[in-house]
């Protein structure tokens, strides 16, 4: 038997064959494009000609040009606001389902939470435009009630609208990990806290909240990472002041015709997101270790 035949019958090879479709998919559609973007970011483009010589020029521009710094900071700010709002909105819902809903009904409640996903994300953004617009539901109602005389302009085409729309879209994703973490909190621990003299609020702060932190951190990561790179929402409801780094990346690849700079911006954004995510993962590990 040759080494190849031996290897082919081994457990390792079997595992490799089993994952091979996914592996091929991942390699072709994730790893290869990623490598291409990285390579591209070290090249330069002059109108239509691509100079294939190694250069850090794009990174220098991406990290020093005030406009890119500003957009990056704004993207971070918006996605942090979205994350904070999402987690704060999701926690009470997850708590309610875990602690107040009878065990028989929990599955139904989780199912109800997924209802927004029945509509496409674009549709939901357009609905927010309808709700928040100049002649939209909010303005129409407030004017009809005589609360305001002129339609409010600060509710659409700015950063507030981006935060609101994104938070609405991501709340269900935040509810699930928090719910799972709360489900895993041993109820006798909460009884013990009560037995030892804590009031409802104190035992939430001292037992339930710390023990559900892994879920909160997971929710934070799940919401933060995708929102920082979102470009559809800022494009549709953000107006000129609500644009984020992803819109700039798109601009560089398309209209500005400077793909290498776009690639450098994309890689820079990825590095920043990775750093933030690593902090959260480290926090999560710390909590999980303590909670064991």
CA angle at residue 242 from 240 to 247, to 5 degrees? 85
C-beta of 199: minimal distance to another protein in Å? Answer: 6
DSSP annotation of 258 = -
Instruction: Choose, by CB under 8 A, the member of 18, 24, 191, 205 that binds another protein.
Output: 191
Asked if residue 144 binds another protein (CB under 8 A), the reply is no
CB 249 within 8 A of CB 266: yes
C-beta of 205: minimal distance to another protein in Å? Answer: 11
Asked if residue 182 binds another protein (CB under 8 A), the reply is no
Asked if residue 205 binds another protein (CB under 8 A), the reply is no
Residue 145 has phi, psi (to 5 degrees) of: -80, -10
Instruction: Choose, by CB under 8 A, the member of 194, 226, 229, 272 that binds another protein.
Output: 194
C-beta of 198: minimal distance to another protein in Å? Answer: 5
Q: Which is nearer to another protein, 6 or 105 (CB)?
A: 105
Coil, helix or strand for 133? coil
Nearest alpha carbon to residue 220 among 287, 268, 156:
287
CB 170 within 8 A of CB 227: yes
Asked if residue 210 binds another protein (CB under 8 A), the reply is yes
- Only segment of 11-19, 68-76, 201-209, 222-230 that touches another protein (CB under 8 A): 201-209
Asked if residue 282 binds another protein (CB under 8 A), the reply is no
Asked if residue 292 binds another protein (CB under 8 A), the reply is yes
Asked if residue 65 binds another protein (CB under 8 A), the reply is no
Q: Which residues, listed in sequence order, are joined to residue 49 by a DSSP beta bridge?
A: 46
DSSP annotation of 31 = I
Asked if residue 181 binds another protein (CB under 8 A), the reply is no
Residue carrying the six token digits 């479709």: 21
Q: Which is nearer to another protein, 216 or 261 (CB)?
A: 216
Asked if residue 199 binds another protein (CB under 8 A), the reply is yes
Instruction: Choose, by CB under 8 A, the member of 53, 197, 240, 275 that binds another protein.
Output: 197
Q: DSSP per residue over 138-189, as a string?
A: HHHHHHHTTS-SS--STTSSSHHHHHHHHHHHHHHHHHHHHHHHHHTS-HHH
Instruction: Write the CB contacts of 45 (distance below 8 Å, at least 6 apart in sequence).
Output: 51, 257, 258, 259, 260, 261
Interface size with another protein, residues (CB under 8 A): 21
Asked if residue 195 binds another protein (CB under 8 A), the reply is yes
**Across the chain, which distance is largest between two alpha carbons, in Å?**
88
Interacting residues toward another protein by CB under 8 A = 186, 188-189, 191-199, 202, 206-207, 210-211, 287, 290-292
């Amino acid at each position: 038997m040759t080494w190849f035949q031996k290897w082919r019958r081994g457990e390792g090879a079997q595992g490799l064959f089993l994952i091979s479709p996914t592996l091929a998919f991942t390699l072709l559609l994730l790893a290869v494009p990623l490598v291409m973007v990285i390579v591209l970011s070290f090249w330069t483009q002059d109108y239509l000609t691509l100079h294939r010589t190694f250069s850090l020029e794009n990174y220098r521009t991406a990290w020093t040009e005030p406009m890119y710094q500003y957009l990056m900071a704004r993207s971070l700010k918006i996605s942090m606001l979205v994350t904070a709002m999402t987690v704060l909105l999701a926690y009470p819902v997850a708590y309610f389902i875990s602690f107040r809903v009878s065990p028989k009904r929990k599955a139904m409640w989780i199912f109800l939470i997924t209802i927004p996903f029945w509509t496409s994300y674009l549709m939901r953004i357009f609905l927010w435009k309808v709700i928040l617009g100049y002649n939209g539901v909010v303005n129409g109602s407030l004017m009809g009630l005589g609360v305001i005389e002129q339609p409010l302009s600060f509710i659409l085409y700015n950063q507030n609208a981006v935060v609101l729309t994104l938070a609405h879209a991501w709340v269900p994703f935040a509810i699930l990990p928090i719910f799972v973490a709360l489900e895993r909190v041993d109820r006798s621990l909460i009884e013990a806290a009560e037995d030892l003299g804590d009031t409802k609020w104190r035992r939430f702060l001292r037992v339930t909240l710390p023990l559900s932190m892994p879920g909160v951190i997971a929710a934070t990561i799940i919401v933060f990472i995708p929102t920082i790179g979102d470009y559809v929402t800022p494009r549709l409801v953000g107006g000129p002041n609500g644009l984020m780094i992803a819109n700039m990346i798109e601009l560089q690849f398309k209209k500005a015709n400077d793909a290498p700079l776009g690639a450098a911006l994309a890689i820079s954004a990825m590095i920043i997101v990775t750093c933030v995510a690593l902090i959260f993962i480290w926090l999560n590990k710390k909590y999980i270790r303590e909670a064991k």
